[in-house]
Chains A and B, each alone.
Chain A
Amino acid sequence: MTSNKRQIKNICTGMAFLLPNLLGFLAFTMLPLLMSIYMAFTDWNLEMHNYFRSEPIRFVGFRNFAQLFSDPDFGRYLGNTFFLMIGIPFGVAASLGSALLLSLEIRGTRRFWGLTVITAVMLSGCVILTLAGMGATAMTMLMASLFGSIFCLGSIGGRTVYRTLFYFPHFTSGVATFILWRKLYAPENGPINNALRPLFAALTPVAESLLPFIDGIATVLLVLMMALYLAMVFRKMRRWEDGECGHVSALLGMVVLSLPPALTMLWVDASWVRVAMPLLLALGWLWFAWHIFGIKRIYDCVLDYKIGDSTIVDGTAMVIGFALIGLANVVWLLPELVAQPGGLPLPKWIADYYWAKPSIIFMGFWSAVGSNNMLLYLAGLAGVPQDLYEAADIDGASRWQRFWHVTWPQLANVTFFIMVMAIIGGIQGGFEMARVMTNGGPAGATTTLSYYIYTQGFATGCLGYASAVAWLLFLLMFVVTMFNWKFGNRYTND
Chain B
Amino acid sequence: MAGRQYAYPCNGAVPALWVNVDTFKKYDLPLPPQEWTPEEFEELGKRFVKLANEGSRRQLCFFVPSVESSSFAIPILRSMGKDVYNETMTRSVANTPELVKVFKLLYKWTYEDRIAPNAADVASMNVEATGYGGANFSNFLQGRYAMIVTGRYGLIRFREFERQVTFSLSQLPMYDFKNLLITVRAAMPYGRTKSPELVDMFLRYLASYEYNKYIIDFADGLPPNPHIVEEDLKQLKFKYPREGITHELEIGWAQSIAVPESRPRYLKAGTPNWLGNSISEYFNNRKSAEESAEYVEYRYNLEIDTACEANPSLRAIWEEQRAVQARIDEYKAAGKKIPLAWISNPFHIRYYREMGMLAETTTAGAR
Contact = CB atoms under 8 A, between A and B. Distances in A.
Interface of A: 43, 45, 47-48, 52, 55, 67, 72, 182, 185-190, 348-354, 441-445, 455, 459-462
A442 B284 CA distance: 7
Nearest to B287: A443
Given A67-B306, A460-B270, A441 B120 contact: no
A186 B123 contact: yes
Given A45-B310, A443-B277, A351 B120 contact: yes
A374 B35 CA distance: 63
Interface residues of B, number: 28
Contacts of A354: 284
A47 B118 CA distance: 36
A352 B270 contact: no
A48 B190 CA distance: 17
Nearest to A441: B280
Contact of A455 (B58, B124, B126, B270): B270
A46 to B, nearest CB: 8
Contact of A185 (B123, B285, B286): B123
List the 10 closest pairs (A to B, CB-CB), nearest first. A188-B124, A460-B270, A353-B284, A187-B120, A459-B270, A351-B119, A351-B120, A443-B280, A348-B120, A351-B123
Contact of A43 (B123, B280, B310): B310
Nearest to B286: A443
A105 B73 CA distance: 63
A372 to B, nearest CB: 31
Given A187-B124, A190-B124, A443-B280, A47 B119 contact: no
B270 A187 contact: no
A53 to B, nearest CB: 10
B123 A187 contact: yes
B269 A188 contact: no
Given A48-B311, A188-B58, A460-B270, 11 more contacts: A47-B268, A55-B313, A188-B120, A190-B124, A348-B120, A443-B280, A443-B281, A444-B277, A455-B270, A459-B270, A460-B268
Contact of B120 (A43, A47, A72, A352): A352
A182 B286 CA distance: 23
A353 B279 CA distance: 13
Interface in B21-73: 58
Interface of B: 58, 118-124, 126, 190, 268-272, 277, 280-281, 283-286, 299, 302, 306, 310-311, 313
17 contacts: A45-B268, A55-B313, A72-B299, A186-B123, A187-B123, A187-B124, A189-B58, A348-B120, A348-B123, A351-B120, A352-B284, A353-B284, A442-B284, A443-B277, A443-B284, A444-B277, A455-B272
B124 A189 contact: yes
Contact of B280 (A189, A349, A442, A461): A442
Contacts of A67: 306
A461 B58 contact: no
A354 B283 CA distance: 12
A353 B286 CA distance: 8
A311 to B, nearest CB: 32
A1 to B, nearest CB: 60
B311 A348 contact: no
Contacts of A190: 124
Contact of A462 (B190, B268, B281, B302): B268
Contacts of B311: 45, 48
Contacts of A461: 268-270
A350 B58 CA distance: 19
Contact of A353 (B123, B272, B285, B306): B285
B322 to A, nearest CB: 21
B119 A348 contact: yes
Contacts of A455: 270, 272
Nearest to B68: A442
A13 to B, nearest CB: 50
B123 A350 contact: yes
A461 B307 CA distance: 12
Nearest to A179: B128
A188 B302 CA distance: 39
A270 to B, nearest CB: 21
Contacts of B122: 351
Contacts of B285: 353
B119 A352 contact: yes
B59 to A, nearest CB: 9
A441 B272 CA distance: 13
B302 to A, nearest CB: 8
Nearest to A353: B284
Contact of B123 (A182, A444, A460): A182
A48 B284 CA distance: 36
A448 to B, nearest CB: 16
Contacts of A188: 58, 120-121, 124
Contacts of B306: 67
A493 B110 CA distance: 58
